[in-house]
Structure 1
């Protein structure tokens, strides 16, 4: 089958699930403005890119992967030459092209074609001295993990002088984020955003942290205790009753009280949703952290159901609470001392040990594009890939309910 045929008609393929992940790109206010699509490296870069795009644009679909946000896709020279003109809608798509490659007439022609189609071009792994393709770029991306501060500064100055947008990729720490932000970098990509920003005191009211502790106790919390702790928070009570009456849960039986909501939804669902609502109420933290936690929670739950020895409900809890340190501005060890998790959940969150801990480690690797690390954690790439679209859909639906 020709490369172009493979891309245009992915629905005709019966191949196993394609591994694709997304990594957020954030602006200076830490709002998600786009995603880079990630897939394992392959010997044939044309085939790898075609498979990724077929899956992203066909099987999963861009609305599920990115919503209204921009999508960044790495494309090799070989792919650009083999698939010209590019058979996809350029709206909201940025093509990332290696900055450090020979700018011969053939490559320049195909880049011009892509720009004429409406695609935006970002030069990946850009440095001040890699200027051959700058005339065709809309933005540049720096891999700041591989650059010292002088090299970063020089690259930003070159891009700024030409009026190009600047993306700092490989930002793995708050220190690196602070440095690049201080230079006027526009966008940021990396795991820095999940690193806790330690704050004095607590960013959650005492009564809500008490509710979080009670909810974290799981089955040790009785029906009556659950009802009481939720009733102490008028906002939480109202949201749960509203949720119980929503179309999301069928809305067959009208609930007017917390007890009726508990009866309608069941204590497990109420505990889960109440926890998410408490976390959604942390209004001074970036909203993408909650979105990330929801996606991790659902992925952990779905993959745990396919993983021997793992528990789906515990997997959901571990995935959701994996971002709570960042949401609350505290270190995970300190948080685990305050929350009444059992030993298995504590080890999963604190040390990535046990079935759910290894599962979390694999999903963390997957979301960062470290697919080898995912396999090393003992987690099936295929299981995550098959669950990914469903997890994205559930996360979008949950966010709608939490912000209603």
Structure 2
């Protein structure tokens, strides 16, 4: 999530924009157990050469501006902390039960070890990051203070991993596999005894089903094809939703939730359409159909929602049609993972224009380039887009999209 820290009341431009994205950490069932916060711009909490005091001031402003609840919800925030920061400043402004402090595996000095011992006694959970199996006396002492060990599995071969995991296993550490690229790597890591997993695997199809689509997937594609028609009418939308009892009940529950805070209860699909309009209900129904696909991780739906709204926001003052198209592109960018199908096969069943197909398949054209920039930002690469008066910053767009996606996810759950 990106944090925009404004100038202070005197108009000084002393405060800087701080960009931070959250990366989910999940268990073997794809249930999120925490979010790692990765900072960009002027803050790098893992940089041993940083100005700790200046960074601390910005970090306090950032956490105060956005709030930990928005950054990580009910889950702990996993944050990499450099030695300089811990020695000069101490832990970040987060309660011990709301944070996991990550320290990189290297030859720790005595002052850092003493600080970590104190933080451990205060209740902080400490994780050893970037462990590759190189043990020395100081690293051994550092590991003894860490109840969690993180291993970048993309940098190690399958044959190397047992050696790397031997000492953490002996010490009973909880093992976290990071940079897990696909479901094949996920399954290998599970077999090796990792407990938590982090990477892009959850946004990838588990197995490609060329031409052979499960019944639930076929039903979802048919419904999506009907809902994705740009000129769907009030009558058509009412028919589509009313013909699906589950979808109708979910719509009424959604409309009557605190998300809308309507003055009276809505009791029919027709009334919901009249109150909210075709565009809002059609968008909601599309999201609900995607979310209804069996075995769909909540975080994958959240990713689609976040991309959709971020793409829409970055459209600036474009026409409603352009904004809606970008929302659709962002939402359907995870359709291949949702349906376990190649994106080309998904698109064959949907009435999308060549422009939308090119954006989703190959990131071509202005809309495809925007989607690629959004995905890059999510990975913590922090690209920039040409600034205009009508377009917010990438940081501001990510923040707004994260808040909206989390709120929407709670409403449709």
TM category, shorter: 0.7 to 0.9
1:318 to 300, 325, 329: 329
1:266 aligned onto 2:277? yes
Q: Distance in 1 between matches of 2:68 and 2:143?
A: 28
Counterpart of 2:310 in structure 1 is 299
Over the residues paired in the alignment, what is the CA RMSD in angstroms?
2.7
- In structure 1, list runs of 5 or more residues that go unmatched: 1-9
Tell me which protein shows more helix as a share of its residues.
1
Conserved in 1, the CA contact under 8 Å of 2:220 and 2:290? Answer: no
Match runs of 1:78-157 below 5 Å? 78-84=84-90, 87-100=93-106, 102-130=107-135, 131-132=139-140, 133-157=142-166
- Offset of residue 343 of structure 1: 1.8
CA distance in 2, matches of 1:16, 1:356: 29
SS, match of residue 339 in structure 1 = coil
Matched, 1:50 2:56: yes
**Is this contact kept in 1: 2:221–2:350, CA < 8 A?**
no
Pick which of 163-172 and 47-56 moved more. Answer: 47-56
| Shift of residue 391, structure 1, vs aligned partner | 2.1
Distance in structure 1 (CA, Å) of the matches to 2:55 and 2:205:
34
Q: 1:308 to 1:169 in 2, by over 3 A?
A: farther
1:203 deviation in Å? 5.4
Cα-to-partner distance string for 1:13-69 (whole Å, 9 max, x where unaligned): 862431110111111111111111011265753458636743553221111111111
Distance (Å, rounded) in 2 between the aligned partners of 1:52 and 1:39: 12
Match of 1:343 among 351, 354, 374: 354
**1:24-43 aligned within 5 A:** 24-40=24-40
Structure 1 CA distance for aligned equivalents of residues 28 and 151 of structure 2: 16
- Pick from 212, 217, 223 the counterpart of residue 224 of structure 2: 212
Task: Structure 2: give runs of 5+ residues left out of the alignment.
Answer: 1-6
Which among 215, 229, 234 is matched to residue 240 of structure 2? 229
**1:182 Cα offset (Å):** 0.8
Counterparts in 2 of 1:146-185, with a 5 A limit? 146-185=155-194
Per-residue deviation, 1:238: 2.0
1:180 is displaced (CA, Å) by: 1.3
Number of residue pairs aligned between Structure 1 and Structure 2: 389
